Amino acid sequence: MFKGLFLTGSMLGMLGDFIHEKGVHIPEVDDAVAQYGTQARISLQLWSSLLQKISTAVNDPALGLAIGQRIAPRHVGVLGYLVLSCQTLGQALLRFARYQRLVYDVNPFSVHMDEQGMELRWGIDYGKPGSLVDETSIAALFNFLHILTNQPLHPSFVSFVNPKPKNCQVYSDYFHCPVEFEDTVTRVRFPAAYLEAPLLHSDPTLLELLSQQAESLLVVLPKADAFEEKLQQIMVQCLHEGEPTLPAVAAYMALSTRTLQRRLQERGLIFQDILEDTRRELAVRYLEDKSLSLTDIALLLGYSEQSAFNRAFKRWYQQPPKVYRKAL
């Protein structure tokens, strides 16, 4: 699941900085930082997996907020320095929206303006990556805007699509505004007065040069693969009905089994790997929903018995799902 969704490799530096400041050694994070350069693109699957590794090692129920505090311009690549060169916060947000795929090519945000201010909205076009992924990205953006202005920025409202956590107060304290959960989209609203806030390092000449560079980088980014998107959606549907098989998925996609096999091979994909990835990522999302029992989750993931789900989850995250849920 979430194949075809990417982040810039420079964001790995934020994870590396965080664990080193915590004094925690996580080989998978260190290896990823060393392997991927700042110009590389990393999959959302890898990003989510690394965040889960950190979550296992660091006991922090609001981990995404803590990681997002470590954001720095170098973690955002060309776009980081581009928005630093803008004149106002409003201009910076509009530029960020235009070039966001250079940094975070997952669920895009859209900008909505009215007389009360500006609202950034993230839909769920490509699914829900989960609380940890969403909160890390929103916190990183929030703290980056503080870097741009060097003054406290208090949104007027924040909401997330994800389930309500145990301690909501930590989120209100962090953003200094009301925070809600289980919304239809993720929202961050800023008062109108903030949009004219001047930036510290405004440079119109540099802004023009970096905008040209960003445009050239944007043009060559690969477009989302419609086949993979449809495959992901159907795989989730099939899981709800039991263990998906290649012929069953092919039938849902109105393809012959042979054609589906060929298209998977053309993309270097293996059916069983996609099934495993989909289950692993959905498991975390379902565990966040406290209304679902472990038996419910096992059935939603296509397992005939909860014990099979327990074994799989322990293989993925080195702990039973019951223990993982308690830490949420």
- Model pTM above 0.75: no
- Using an 8 Å Cβ cutoff, are 43 and 133 in contact? no
> CB of 71 within 8 A of CB of 12?
no
Q: What is the per-residue pLDDT for 317?
A: 82
CB of 142 closer than 8 Å to CB of 120: no
| Domains contained in the chain, CATH given | 6-219 (3.90.1520), 226-326 (1.10.10.60)
> Cα dist. 164→89, 134, 325 in Å?
30, 13, 13
Phi (first) and psi of residue 185, to 5 degrees: -140, 165
For each of the chain's 328 residues, which pLDDT tens digit applies?
A: 555 678 999 999 999 999 999 999 999 999 999 999 888 999 898 999 999 999 999 989 899 999 999 999 999 999 999 999 999 999 999 999 999 999 999 888 888 888 888 999 998 877 788 899 999 999 999 999 999 999 888 999 999 999 999 899 999 999 999 999 999 999 999 999 999 999 999 999 999 999 999 999 988 887 766 787 788 889 988 998 888 999 999 999 999 999 999 988 877 678 998 898 889 888 988 998 888 999 999 999 999 899 999 999 998 888 899 988 887 7
- Give the pLDDT confidence score for residue 166 in this predicted structure: 87
Residue 50 confidence (pLDDT): 95
**Residue 141's pLDDT is what?**
95
